[in-house]
Copies of this chain bind each other. A is one copy, B any other.
Amino acid sequence: MALTTCLEKGGPHVAPDHFRLMIDCAEACRAAAALMINHSPYHAEFCRLCAQICRDCAASCEELDGMEACVRACRQCAQACEAMAASP
């Protein structure tokens, strides 16, 4: 996944702020998915937070070379999270 690709690329791809953001993103996605699966009444808050982190992640990936696929994936994930946050 993104983390593994970035480790191989090294340099700015493993800069602390960038890499930490990707770990945050993975954790936020995992939590949002778990709450969706659990039909949680708190899913909207988690999906909204997850969407925000995915957007920040897309912006951070956009500053690096060769991460177009990552940027697209983060944006799609952000949109999916926003749609789920808006659903009952």
Number of this chain's copies in the assembly equals 4
Query: Is B8 touching A24 in the complex (CB atoms < 8 A)?
Result: no
Q: Name the segment of A32-40, A62-70, A80-88 touching the other chain.
A: A32-40
B14 pairs with A42, CB closer than 8 A: no
CB pair A7–B1 under 8 Å, yes or no, is: no
A30 to chain B, nearest CB (A): 7
CB-CB < 8 A to A10: which residues of B?
A: 14, 16
Q: Smallest CB–CB gap between A64 and chain B, Å? A: 15
Residues in chain A within 8 A of chain B (CB atoms): 1, 3-4, 7-8, 10, 14, 16, 19-20, 23-24, 27-28, 30-31, 34-35, 37-42, 45-46, 49, 52-53
